Structure 1
Amino acid sequence: MSTYILGIDLGTTSIKAVLLESGSRLVVASHSLQTTSEIADSCGIKANEQDTGRIIDTLNECIQQLPADKLKNVTRIGLSGQMHGVLFWKDQRKEFFTAKDTSQLITWQDGRCNNDFLSTLPKPNSHLSLATGFGCATIFWFLKHRPEFLEQFTAAGTIQDYVVSMLCGLERCVMTPQNAASWGYFNTSTSQWNLEILEAAGFPTHLLPECVPSGALAGLTCMDWHGIGAGTPVGAALGDLQCSVYSCMSTSTDAVLNISTSAQLTHAMPAGFTPPSSPLSNSSISYFPYFDSSYLAVAASLNGGNVLATFVDMLTKWMSDLGAEISESSIYEKLISCALHQDTTDLNVHPTILGERHSSLCLGQVTDISPSNLSLGHVMRALCRGVISNVTSMMPADYLQNAGVTRVVGSGTALARNQVLRQEVERAFSQMSIVYGQNADSAVGVAMALCDRL
């Protein structure tokens, strides 16, 4: 009888669940759904929040679409999800999948911690810089502006940590270094929070999760769930970037370019690599913890598929203002068609509308505008080229070649659905082999990691 591993990824805009056959490591079933969980920023503080209840409902809907006969034979459950963000909750041991007594999810895209605020925070003992959207920075913001808010809760974690806590009925949240490093104030060399620094600043350290190794077991399911029996092992939640890389990086000479909501370009550092003791000033490359004490070199851009989505949304609203109603999907398809007929352009689009963590004040620009390059084909071609150029400016092709990289693996929903983006990738990395991984996604990666480690 075949057994299966359930891999779940709680992404920024969608949730995906896969069933991986334990022996063959093949995906035998999968399903994904959009969460539509965004909450409008009504306070004008650049908040970016999502409805936790809607996320949990979507997760349940997604699992229900998988084959019931195979769910009964799931022997392990793994979860990954969007990093950096923070969710607060009360003890969940008596509330199984109800999203009761929780805050909204404050995502990695949250902008309430501006540079002035961040400059008032204590310096972390970490090789990673602190930025808005990081869990600890957000908690500091609430500590200053709404301390009564924090008093409602007994635990905090990422959205994927919360789901693990519910599945296992944990008294205290557990978190892997992959997610802890994305919060700030975490030392990856010692796998410890900066407790002395945080306590001296009055930080509510009781909210910090307990750290366990990436790939470790978090606990066992405390109840039956969609046919999966109680007592099923659940892995501690992992980061979506690391799991996406794990699903498609087959050799140390691979680099992975993932473009979904945001964009990341990454490659594996050599065995034994130790990151610097403090952040490199204005560096666009960070070192993220991976598995087995290893690291990934990562150029993590805030601007990816979300830039294209913003452009489509803008055009949709313009059309509506002009009295024409066209769906966003139709506009997107027409934009791609126009750009495919416009092979080159002298229009330049710098698409950093969300800034970047290493350069938060560098916003979007359009330059070299002329009467001859204002067609939709020119603009869409320039926008797609700009998305790729921005990522490669953070981690250039010659840097990758010097690091021994010979192949770039393309992944992510934006690359999968946009041939123009793929053309620009192939231009940017013309001296390397380019492949597009069929199973390059976090849900598959977390299932594979669990298969290899538990």
Structure 2
Amino acid sequence: MELEGRSLVLGIDVGTSSVKAVLLEPRSGDVLWSQSTDTRAGLQSECGAQGKEQDVCQIIRALNDCLGALPRERLQKMSRIGVSGQMHGVVFWKSSQGCHWINSENLRFFEPREVSRLITWEDGRCSTEFLASLPPPQSHLSVASGFGCATIFWYLKNRPDFLREYDVAGTIQDYIVSMVCGMKRPVMSVQNAASWGYFNTRTKTWNVDILQDWGFPVSLLPPAVDAGCIAGKSSYAWCGIPQGTEVGVSLGDFQCSVFSSATESTDAVLNISTSAQLTFSMPEGFQPEDHPSPAEAMTYFPYMNNRYLAVAASLNGGNVFASFVRMLAQWTSELGLETSDSTIYSKLINAALSEHETQLTICPTLFGERHAPDSVASVSNISTASLSLGHVTRALCRGLIENIHSMLPSQRLREAGITRIIGSGSVLARNAVLQQELERVFSFPVVYGKDVDSAVGAAMIMRS
């Protein structure tokens, strides 16, 4: 039900490096306004390079700034808010003191209080040996490092005192919804719960018996509800958004990104940004097997209306290419030369566009894979004829596409009735070499320009 005079929907996405907000006209689906703000929230972790943590205060500050930049008269017309965010990660807080609300320049917004750092989906503190020591889940999804429950198990073993400081946990997007709605305890969508591990998507319940037997603090786990449900109403006029605006239970950024772009059941979506994901929607009534296979590259994520997405999710995407650029920048600096990352990037792309073929082979799994966490990157078939920047860049782009193809091959897509691929993501959009390799490796028609957008997807899900 729309409130009188309030007809717009706000979509928010809390990403790994930025937050984004869009204003959606629900009837037409048109995006009326869009705003993005970098969070710059990364922190050094006690776990060294393996730990990936972010400053929640900085994330919320960026979110408040992002919303504050939207037109005030538009925000006053909000009827609903949809929120998505980075999956798998976990943040802890105290239910009685999660935030405090302040007024500044005629706007009311909240600031975190008694909140831990966000341990993100990229976190690698849970080694293969540690994960093997955990109880098998009663779920079709395996547990990997960076998953909320795995991270909590790590704290239980290594820093139990830390867990005693808090009585609530959730994803960063769960935290935001809880604070906006003034909820003492969050609710979590099935999408986010599944991303934590130890969650059965058939029964939509946590593996409480298994976890309790291992001393896991199950009181931290929020109750799970279906995606698309209303979590509550805004308890204050947040950044100009009226008090009493309905707020949906937070969603997974991946599912929202697919929702924003795949218009046909015969579409597959390939998104390459920081990481890479190739996905398509499974038929109605499909149910995955309850027994996870850790070595299986393709998994099934809960989507909308009790349906699933078949997903090949690689940890290696734009982050690998960015590491390549940083390496070259460091080399040139050590040689006494200075040049910007953007200059290096453009020269690499131009060089690779002039090299249509290469015998050089690069396995780009620099960050491992969830189904093969110990995998590393490698280079082979090196010859004197393939040492140019053009050959190396072409081979790297080819390797990134072939890696995702090895996880979800063309033949499997054809068997599922897929007829085209929607190519999206910031890295794919600006890398013509990746686009060429995508079309060569998969041999499907590829549609570009219909970019996935989790914030738009979150708003679209809440507009009905």
The corresponding residue for 1:179 is 192
Q: Which of 92, 115, 131 is matched with 1:102 structurally?
A: 115
Contact 2:420 2:447 survives alignment (8 Å): yes
Instruction: Please say if residues 351 and 364 of structure 1, whose CA atoms lie closer than 8 Å, have aligned partners that are also in contact.
Output: yes
2:279 partner letter: T
Matches of residues 203-282 of structure 1 in structure 2 within 5 Å? 203-280=216-293, 282=295
Residue number in structure 1 paired with 2:104? none
The question of 1:19 aligning with 2:23 is answered yes
Confirm or deny that 1:335 pairs with 2:348: yes
Matched residue, 2:12: 8
Quick one: structure 1 residues 370 and 255, their matched pair in 2 at CA, closer, same or farther if it must change by over 3 Å?
A: same
Asked if residue 407 in structure 1 is aligned to residue 430 in structure 2, the reply is: no
Structure 2 SS opposite 1:248: coil
TM-score by length of 2: 0.95
Tell me if structure 2 keeps the 8 A contact 1:5–1:447. yes
How far residue 325 of structure 1 moved from its aligned partner, in angstroms, is 2.1
Partner residue of 1:196? 209
What residue is the counterpart of 2:39 in the other structure? Answer: 35
* In structure 2, distance between residues paired with 1:94 and 1:413: 33
Q: How far, CA to CA, are the matches of 2:69 and 2:420 in structure 1?
A: 36
Q: CA offset at residue 439 of structure 1?
A: 4.2
Give the corresponding residue for 1:387: 400
Is the deviation greater in 418-427 or in 325-334? 325-334
- Asked whether the equivalents of residues 99 and 113 of structure 2 are also in contact (C-alpha less than 8 Å), the reply is no
Show the counterpart of 1:362.
375
Q: Distance in 2 between matches of 1:245 and 1:23?
A: 20
Deviation at 1:205, TM superposition (A): 0.8
What is the CA–CA distance in structure 1 between the aligned matches of 2:150 and 2:184, rounded to whole Å?
Answer: 24
Give the conservation status (yes or no) of the 8 Å contact 1:2–1:21: no
2:107 aligned partner: none
1:141 lines up with 2:154 in the alignment: yes
Give structure 2 stretches of 5+ with no counterpart. Answer: 102-109
AA matched with 1:87? V
Q: In the aligned structure 1, how far is the partner of 2:12 from the partner of 2:294?
A: 36
**Aligned residue in 1 for 2:106:** none
> Does residue 52 of structure 1 match 2:56?
yes
Q: Cα distance 1:281–1:43, how it changes in 2: closer, same or farther (>3 A)?
A: closer
**SS of equivalent to 1:30:** strand
Contact 2:90–2:148 (CA under 8 A) maintained in structure 1: yes
Q: CA deviation at 1:231?
A: 0.5
Q: Alpha carbon RMSD of aligned pairs, Å?
A: 1.3
Q: How far apart, in 2, do the equivalents of 1:159 and 1:88 lie? A: 9
350, 356, 360: which one pairs with 2:363?
350
Aligned AA (1:144): K
Counterpart check, 1:418 vs 2:431: yes
SS in 2 for 1:283: coil
> 2:415 is aligned with what amino acid?
N
Q: Mind listing any 5+ residue stretches in structure 1 that lack a counterpart?
A: none
Distance 1:45 1:427, change over 3 A: closer
* 1:408–1:250 distance in 2 versus 1, CA, 3 Å: same
SS at match of 1:384: helix
**Superposed displacement of residue 402, structure 1:** 0.9
- The aligned amino acid for 1:109 is E
Following superposition, the deviation at residue 280 of structure 1 comes to: 3.0
CA distance in 2, matches of 1:169, 1:219: 9
Q: Percent identity?
A: 56
1:41 Cα offset (Å): 3.5
